[in-house]
Structure 1
């Protein structure tokens, strides 16, 4: 006889409530970090108009970071932290990983109950399928989405950056100091570059040296164009010289490089699209089939070749993804 607080119906309602709360929070965070910035030119400019201080601007613009040395999965945290920073997310990688783990656990417990397949989850193969299904929805799909948003945002940053250098050069030649020229760039350009450079200005107003603020920008974005810009400004601050001439030459180099990058992308676009489809489609297909017709897999879990087959497919999938990424990764 089950105690009242362990009644299966009561447990089901609790799980559904927790799932709705987590989904609501995840939907709000996704809207805030993805669609919210698109409706404003620059969050920093709005805060300045409201009279916010430099400390308040830094707190609002800078994303939460994670101490990798204190985490249980340092490699995963480091990778997720970089990709989330490039995608424009403001929450920490530790919190995102906690949300994904919670969603995975909820789906792993909730789906067998709602799908009416709890009686079929009696073997190691069936448990493995549930784990793979929950991890596919709670971990794989969010990581694929973050990678997609990061790649799209980086392309937009690279497209905006030569124009930003032109505005910066004109400001310097007009007599503006470097901070004034950066202010001009932030006020003239839209997001995402405006917010990234706005954070540089906020850090400088808060007491960061120019070099340290630019290094932080390079760590957040991690693109070759930004790295060349940071190195150029850092060398100029130590050796002297005309920063406007240096940045003017850098803008020409970046534009020439961008033309070459576009040619390479055009030639490699078929391979990259194939790699993206072959990476995402097995996960999406498995999730779709298992969610609509779980017996397609569960009827075969007792076969002696089922577990070796699943492990072999997972190994071949990972190996294929690694090989495809090596083949389509072209440095320019």
Structure 2
């Protein structure tokens, strides 16, 4: 009784993959150089691994790729130092994705590319009985780009969450300052309360970084400017600008913050009203196609019925 050629081919694919795995393992250095990660970022990494075990599974392989990316020099074709700089900024602005360094993120892209390369190879074999290398490379390309798409999505969502939580957080800060506390003590109370109630609140996380910087001697203005550089929020930029102006003019900070919160709420309300007014115009174009399809279905049935009665 002969063996089905499909199983032979599938076994060959598995054997090739195992051989490739051993080949890659041969390039694993005895001493993997890791990028330094400590403090708040290390805490975020541990927490991310606890929430999703898949990170713990792929992290050793990610570190191997990161080891080689760390050694890559700049070339005419690829300025990797610029890529690292852009990735560091994006990782910092994406919340928990900041638990990984730029080199580790590139290593994660390589691991995802390898996994989807194998998936594409197996999928093409199951569909056509022949492994299609182009399909596998398409899968690898998609896999390499998936972490970048996830990173951009995390950045956008975190910015939305910060803009949404900003007025409420500043209200608490104003109430504490109205009760007689200075800015740093009020900020400490808001951050402590926020970490207890919702440790995943990105606004509380960023204010916690501001508080840590001020405790180690950074000027309040510099710590707030660093906050704006990390977050890139239009509302936060206007608020920090008003705070810096109040320091120069000696205006009570609580009054300035209260005015800024009202301004932010008015801007958000105007933005929502504008989006609502544009929704009717944006939905008009797809509705035309839907209406046309409905008319075709109704008229088509009527025409067929008339033709049948005529015959």
**The one of 116, 141, 146 aligned to 1:135:** 141
Equivalent in the alignment of 1:241 = 251
Residue 190 of structure 2 corresponds to residue 185 of structure 1: yes
Equivalent in the alignment of 2:11 = none
Aligned length: 220
Shift of 1:72: 2.8
Residues 212/270 of structure 1: CA separation in 2 closer, same or farther (3 Å cut):
farther
**The one of 172, 175, 179 aligned to 1:174:** 179
CA contact (8 A) 1:167 1:184 kept: no
Q: For the residues of structure 1 that align with 2:21 and 2:103, how far apart are their CA atoms?
A: 28
CA contact (8 A) 1:100 1:138 kept: yes
**Residues 296-311 of structure 1 aligned to structure 2 (within 5 Å):** none
Shift of 1:238: 2.7
The alignment's C-alpha RMSD in Å is 3.8
**Residues 76-155 of structure 1 aligned to structure 2 (within 5 Å):** 76-88=83-95, 89-90=97-98, 91-105=100-114, 107-108=116-117, 111-112=120-121, 116=125, 120-121=132-133, 126=134, 129-139=135-145, 141-155=146-160
Equivalent in the alignment of 2:19 = 11
Q: For the residues of structure 1 that align with 2:25 and 2:275, how far apart are their CA atoms?
A: 46
Residue 267 of structure 2 corresponds to residue 257 of structure 1: yes
Q: For the residues of structure 1 that align with 2:171 and 2:91, how far apart are their CA atoms?
A: 28
Shift of 1:75: 5.6
Between structure 1 and structure 2, the one with the greater Rg is 2
* Gap runs ≥5 in structure 2: 1-14, 27-43, 52-69, 284-311
> Taking CA–CA contacts closer than 8 Å with sequence separation of 6 or more, which of the two structures ends up with the larger relative contact order?
1
Q: What secondary structure sits across from 1:163 in the alignment?
A: helix
Shift of 1:163: 1.2
* Gap runs ≥5 in structure 1: 1-6, 19-28, 37-65, 274-332
CA contact (8 A) 1:15 1:110 kept: no
Q: What secondary structure sits across from 2:92 in the alignment?
A: helix
Equivalent in the alignment of 1:160 = 165
TM-score, normalization: structure 2? 0.58
Equivalent in the alignment of 1:300 = none
Q: Deviations over 1:162-198 (max 9, x none)?
A: 1111111222222211101111221333312111101
CA contact (8 A) 2:94 2:151 kept: yes
Q: What secondary structure sits across from 2:181 in the alignment?
A: coil
